[in-house]
Amino acid sequence: MDAGLTAEKLPFEELKRIYSLRWSIEVNYRFIKRVQKLECFTGTDSLLIRQDVFATLTVWNIATFCRIGSNKLIRMRFRKTRESASGKRRKYSHKTNTGNLIYRLKKNLVKIMLEPDAKKRSMMLQNLLFEASEHTVPLRHGRKFPHKKKHTAKCNNSWKSHI
């Protein structure tokens, strides 16, 4: 944004609206950097770096679509009952655990893509979504206590997970 903007040129409410649109991008980028280790490359050659970036972003994009499907399954399940498997009433709404979904996607994506039978491929993808919908995290709006942040090394190529 231009540093010379004034309140007359851009009202506060408009600035707030624009910033809120950007916020989801920032959150997603942080997740891609930390969880998928976007900045940890498997080599120093420019081709390897580009392949790492494209593979990471491809997995993220596929996971985003899978998360939408998984969240629909979660909402359908919770519409019928607000109880957990243990029979207790759930206090919060839930969403798909994205880290778990990405793990399952990396584990099964190549098998799904290489399956020649379209019906079996579709069934494999549906099973992946169902499994992902079983692993949820609560949505806690208005959290009173901040998350405790774990500080880890930025990159360690010896344990970077690959697709």
pLDDT tens sequence across 48-89: 888 888 888 888 889 889 999 999 988 887 765 555 555 666
Residue 159 placed within a domain:
no
Contact by Cβ (8 Å): 78, 90? yes
For 100-120, the pLDDT digits (tens) are 898 898 889 899 999 999 999
Task: Look at the chain and report how many structural domains it folds into.
Answer: 1
Residue 146 within any structural domain of the chain: no
Residue 147 lies in a domain: no
DSSP calls for 18-49: HHHHHHHHHHHHHHHHHTS-TT--S-SSHHHH
Q: Is residue 160 a part of any domain in this protein?
A: no
Answer whether residue 153 is part of any domain: no
User: What's the pLDDT at 81?
Assistant: 57
Q: Which residue range(s) make up the domain with 76?
A: 12-83+92-139
Bridge partners of 95?
137
- For residue 54, tell me if it sits in a domain: yes
pTM more than 0.75: no
User: Does residue 128 sit within a domain?
Assistant: yes
Is residue 1 one of the residues assigned to a domain?
no
